[in-house]
């Protein structure tokens, strides 16, 4: 007997790490929903490919707005009736020393990275509580632990996501729902474009694995954390950084 494909939500899956996560779950045969403010050629490919078109849903949404998060989750539940996995991946960074950071930049980063994660976790955990099953993974960052010059607001939101992970794991554990976080090191995505080549090379030199991370490195860990057989590990943060902060 084959089990039903899972329903997986990956936020911010139009590019970067999120796109790698979407691909990984589509490759596992799951039904995958993602959102971002705008579509990309990658999103169109998943929508058009006969192998994925009926297992893939894209909803344009700005997750810093509670109403958009609600519209997104409703669209997923209308289509597939449930949610098995939520990966809070959508995130944004604004570079600059705190003393020169504008109110707008502080709001942008907190509204998506922290409030967006809270909105999505609130909406999805309600559904998971009814079924008494599910997994939530929050994509944090090593800078939430180590800090990084010029990323104070971003680092604060990533540390907050880890606090949320631990609290929610306690809140949902007795209902069979796991909540974990992944703290990736530096990945070559649009977000790391703010780092110049010299900074990237320095990071590579200091990384025992001798390279930057790939979305696939994180996707493998995420698959492990959301495997329904792996239901005794919760409230943890898995660091995937090639040994950089080990």
Note the residues at the interface with ligand NAP (CB under 6 A). Answer: 12, 14-18, 35-38, 61-64, 89-92, 112, 139, 141, 184, 186-187, 189-192
* Closest to ligand NAP by CB, 69 or 83: 69
Q: Annotated catalytic, 154?
A: yes
Catalytic-role residue among 25, 119, 148, 154 = 154
Q: Please, which residue, 8 or 35, has the CB nearer to ligand NAP?
A: 35
Residues 10, 215 contacting (CB under 8 angstroms): no
CB of 139 to ligand NAP, least distance (A): 4
Inter-residue contact 218 to 17 (CB < 8 Å): yes
CB of 58 to ligand NAP, least distance (A): 10
Least distance in angstroms from the C-beta of 206 to ligand NAP? 14
Nearer to ligand NAP, 91 or 134 (CB): 91
What is the rounded end-to-end Cα distance, in angstroms, of the chain? 43
Whether residue 15 contacts residue 39, with contact meaning beta carbons closer than 8 Å, is answered with no
Sheet of strand 237-240, all strands in order from the earlier edge strand to the far edge: 56-60, 31-36, 7-11, 85-88, 134-139, 177-184, 237-240
4 or 27: CB nearest ligand NAP:
27
Q: Which tokens go with 141?
A: 């960052």
Give the shortest CB-174-to-ligand NAP separation in angstroms.
Answer: 28
Q: Which residue in this structure is represented by tokens 């849903």?
A: 57
The residues assigned a catalytic role are: 154
């Amino acid at each position: 007997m084959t089990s039903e494909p899972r329903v997986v939500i990956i936020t911010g899956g139009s590019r970067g790490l999120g796109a790698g996560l979407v691909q990984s779950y589509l490759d596992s045969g799951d039904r995958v929903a993602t959102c971002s403010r705008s579509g990309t050629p990658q999103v169109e490919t998943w929508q058009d490919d006969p192998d994925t078109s009926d297992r893939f849903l894209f909803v344009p949404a700005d997750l810093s707005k509670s109403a958009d998060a609600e519209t997104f989750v409703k669209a997923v539940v209308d289509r597939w009736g449930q949610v098995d996995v939520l990966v809070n991946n959508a995130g944004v960074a604004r570079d600059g020393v705190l003393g020169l950071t504008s109110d707008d930049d502080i709001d942008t980063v907190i509204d998506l990275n922290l409030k967006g994660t809270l909105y999505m976790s609130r909406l999805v955990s309600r559904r998971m509580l009814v079924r008494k099953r599910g997994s939530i993974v929050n994509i944090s960052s090593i800078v939430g632990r180590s800090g990084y010059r010029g990323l104070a607001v971003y680092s604060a939101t990533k540390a907050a996501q880890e606090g949320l992970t631990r609290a929610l794991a306690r809140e949902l554990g007795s209902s069979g729902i796991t909540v974990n976080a992944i703290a990736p090191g530096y990945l070559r995505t649009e977000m790391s474009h703010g780092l110049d080549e010299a900074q990237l090379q320095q990071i590579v030199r200091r990384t025992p694995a001798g390279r930057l991370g790939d979305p696939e490195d994180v996707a493998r860990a995420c698959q492990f954390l959301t495997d329904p057989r792996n239901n005794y590990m919760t409230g943890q943060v898995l660091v995937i950084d090639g040994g950089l902060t080990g």
